[in-house]
């Protein structure tokens, strides 16, 4: 493998995605080709319906391409069975969703440690890792609070801690600032920027938020399921 290839984390090769709606075929992606290298802080932008969330779902193995190839860390996702894809999502991909997706009956600590617990990591090691992450996102003192005892921004910070707990290859953040105010959005982005800079965590955002695009080191604009080429 060449050195250039070793830096490639995600590759989309001529990917199409078509959804069936009644008698209609609705294309979400139309021959999308894209390379994301390790350590990137990249935003997929574009209007509603441009295909940015679909692209994130394909990279995250939450959906499958109609045609083309989605490759993560050199492995084509189409070659993996259901169990292997499940392990991939658990161990190599972190997710930050617009709606937080925390488990209501678990505390902030328990939500953040969930993936490590599923991996069978020793309880002492889990505690050391998770408390360090909660400290990084400014929530160490709120470890025992449940989601309904946290603000929206605090819940999203728990989600960020959960997303990186297992040291994934990439964190996929789908509109992570959509449900928080401007001040909270800036704080969340600063946290993710710091994790990218200090820990080398690769982030790929799906967003139409100008604040995210301003901080991203690369912005890929999608229009009608294709990368928009400058005029």
- Please check whether residue 199 lies inside any domain of the structure: yes
pTM of the full predicted structure?
0.90
Q: Please indicate, yes or no, if residue 208 is contained in any of the structural domains.
A: yes
Residues in the chain, total: 231
The torsion angle over the Cα atoms of residues 150, 107, 145 and 131, rounded to 10 degrees, is: -100
CATH of the domain at 223: 3.40.50.300
pLDDT above 50 (res 94): yes
Q: How far apart are CA 89 and CA 222, in angstroms?
A: 25
Q: How far apart are CA 56 and CA 64, in angstroms?
A: 11
> Which pLDDT score, from 0 to 100, does residue 2 have?
41
Cβ partners under 8 Å of residue 113, min gap 6: 126, 127, 129, 130, 165
Please state, in angstroms and as integers, the Cα–Cα distance from residue 85 to each residue in 75, 108, 154, 187, 209, following that order: 11, 26, 30, 33, 30
Query: Is 220 within a domain?
Result: yes
Q: What is the pLDDT of residue 230?
A: 62
Q: Is residue 75 part of a domain?
A: no
d(CA 4, CA 25): 37
- From the number of C-beta atoms within 10 Å of its C-beta (0-12, 13-18, 19+), residue 80 rates as middle
Instruction: Determine the average pLDDT of the residues in 4-8.
Output: 71
Residue 130 maps to a domain? yes
Q: Give a yes or no: residue 16 inside a domain.
A: no
| Alpha-carbon torsion (185, 190, 195, 196), positive or negative | positive
Model pLDDT for residues 40-93, shown as the tens digit of each residue: 999 999 998 899 999 999 999 999 999 999 999 999 999 999 999 999 999 999
Task: Describe the strand order of the beta sheet including 8-21 as a list of residue ranges.
Answer: 24-37, 8-21, 67-72, 75-76
What pLDDT score does 116 carry?
94
Q: How far apart are the first and last CA of the chain?
A: 36
Parent domain of 219: 39-65+80-227
The structural domain count of the chain equals 1
Q: What is the pLDDT of residues 166-182, one digit of tens each?
A: 999 999 999 998 888 88
Assess contact for 182 and 211: CB atoms under 8 A. Answer: yes
Q: Is residue 43 part of a domain?
A: yes
109 assigned to some structural domain: yes
């Amino acid at each position: 493998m060449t050195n250039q290839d070793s830096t490639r984390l995600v590759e989309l090769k001529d990917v199409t995605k078509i959804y069936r709606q009644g008698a209609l075929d609705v294309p979400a992606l139309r021959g999308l080709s894209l390379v994301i290298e390790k350590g990137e802080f990249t935003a997929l932008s574009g209007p509603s319906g441009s295909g940015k969330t679909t692209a994130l779902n394909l990279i995250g193995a939450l959906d499958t391409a109609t045609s083309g190839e989605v490759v993560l860390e050199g492995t084509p996702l189409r070659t993996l069975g259901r169990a292997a894809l499940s392990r991939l999502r658990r161990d190599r991909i972190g997710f930050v969703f617009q709606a937080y997706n925390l488990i209501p009956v678990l505390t902030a600590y328990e939500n953040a440690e969930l993936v490590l617990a599923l991996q069978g990591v020793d309880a002492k090691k889990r505690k050391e890792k998770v408390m360090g992450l909660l400290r990084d996102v400014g929530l160490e003192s709120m470890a025992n609070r449940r989601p309904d005892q946290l603000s929206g921004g605090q819940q999203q910070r728990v989600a960020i801690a959960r997303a990186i707990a297992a040291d994934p290859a990439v964190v996929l953040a789908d509109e992570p600032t959509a449900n928080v105010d401007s001040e909270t959005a800036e704080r969340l982005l600063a946290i993710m920027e710091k994790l990218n800079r200090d820990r080398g965590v690769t982030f790929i955002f799906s967003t139409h938020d100008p604040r995210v695009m301003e901080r991203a080191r690369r912005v890929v604009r999608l229009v009608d399921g294709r990368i928009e080429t400058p005029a």
